[in-house]
Structure 1
Amino acid sequence: MATIFTQIIEGRMPARFVWKDDRCVVFLSNRPLRPGHALVVARQEIDHWIDLDPSLLCHLAETAQAIGRAQMAGFHPERIGVMLAGLEVPHCHFHVVPIRGLHDLDFGNQDPDPPAEMMDEAAQTIRRELRRLSYSQVSD
């Protein structure tokens, strides 16, 4: 059975995409820790990050860095946090989160029902900043 992330990648479930390339996609978390919380997801279904091909791991990290640069420019947080937790969905993904402190990385603080307007605005902010930074992988 396909993971929920594969279903999203294949268009069978909705998501707010901000990046697509041949190896990964980036969309906003539907239970964000902070506005702009993005997930960098490998297209290939691999459960644990230690099982990734090193070149794919590097690609995911480079993509997370690009997203982080866009988040920093668009949201002006103290830092950009990155996590590879791997417990929620058995499909390798990076959490890239604009943060003010470590407390912003606590999954107990997820917003279970974020306003659609806030989510749309966050996606537009990331896309705008990715374009400004000259990334061609922006997804509308």
Structure 2
Amino acid sequence: MPSIFSRIVSGELPAYKVAEDEHHLAFLDITPLVEGHTLVIPKKEVDYIFDLPPAELAALHHFAQRVAKGVKAAVTCRRIGVAVIGLEVPHAHIHLIPMNNVSDMNFANPKIKVAEARMKELAAAIGAQVPGADGGAVAPLDTKGSRETEETNNPAAAAAPAQDSSLGQLQQLTKGLYFMSESDAPLEAVSFPAPSSMNDEALAKLAGQPTDAKVEKQELTYFLRNHTADKGVLGDPALANRFKALQMYLKQELEDVQVYRFGSGPQVPVLALGKTEDGKLAGFKTVLTET
């Protein structure tokens, strides 16, 4: 009988996949020790990892290294712990576990429950950060959690002036992304000083629109729903994962994120904005075409 992991490989069972190549697959553990706990497997079913031929064992670890870089870039932690147990499922696999303390690697710890929506966000964020097969580096996202970890480990960092890197991170996340409506328009990262009042007139000025322009608000998840769906308008799960990663960053790193639509078409300017830690506004802009 095929192992549960082989059934995931064949598509018989679903999984929160984060990376895949011809011979390997990585996906989130559905009973994780911590958020971001990822399993890396060879697609070929082999019970004991050290029964793999040397070249295949080396290739599995090379793939795991790439995935670990993605996990480290997407999940706040000090290190990525590595474990091979081999008793739970008769299919060789490597555990990649984001860790801040040695105790995070204790498999006797109670497993945590992570909501489905959060698992999808994590899978997308990790997948978007996994380097290519050539080993090209992916810059880790600068998140609130990563800054807090750095300040804990490096008191000098806490004493240094805060650096607003939201715009740079958003530029990285939006690069090459297009919003599809009746025409395609690029997403462009933006940052503004916060106006004294977030009324419609102030928002219209930020968007470069007449101050009496009609302003319609939408929730971010609703606005991006067709672009984050695996079988949505993009027709490309990898692109959908990039939109999921952008959505996750905005919701985690900014406060009071809201989408604003201006005017009634056929060209509808859009701003997606939230507040940064230092009180600025950041997000992205694009244009919808509605006829």
TM-score by length of 1: 0.89
Q: Which amino acid aligns with 2:28?
A: L
- Give the Å deviation of 1:96: 0.7
The residue aligned with 1:125 is: 125
2:62 is the alignment partner of 1:35: no
Rg comparison, structure with higher value: 2
- Give the Å deviation of 1:111: 2.9
Aligned Cα root-mean-square deviation (Å): 1.9
How does 1:97-116 map onto structure 2 within 5 Å? Answer: 97-111=97-111, 113-116=113-116
- Give the Å deviation of 1:121: 1.4
Contact 2:33 2:112 in 1 (8 A): no
The residue aligned with 1:74 is: 74
- Determine which structure has greater relative contact order: mean sequence separation of CA pairs < 8 Å that are 6+ residues apart, divided by chain length: 1
SS of residue paired to 1:109: coil
Contact 1:46 1:92 in 2 (8 A): yes
Q: Which amino acid aligns with 2:65?
A: Q
1:12-68 CA-to-partner distances (Å, cap 9, x unmatched) read: 111011111111111111111111111111111111111011111111111111111
The residue aligned with 1:7 is: 7
CA distance in structure 1 between the aligned counterparts of 2:76 and 2:113, rounded to whole angstroms: 23
TM-score by length of 2: 0.44
The residue aligned with 1:61 is: 61
- Give the Å deviation of 1:135: 5.0
How does 1:87-102 map onto structure 2 within 5 Å? Answer: 87-102=87-102
CA distance in structure 2 between the aligned counterparts of 1:63 and 1:20, rounded to whole angstroms: 9
CA distance in structure 2 between the aligned counterparts of 1:25 and 1:90, rounded to whole angstroms: 16
Task: Judging by fraction of residues, say which structure has more strand.
Answer: 2
- Give the Å deviation of 1:97: 1.1
CA distance in structure 2 between the aligned counterparts of 1:20 and 1:97, rounded to whole angstroms: 18
Contact 1:17 1:26 in 2 (8 A): yes
Q: Which amino acid aligns with 2:41?
A: V
Percent of aligned pairs sharing the same letter: 34
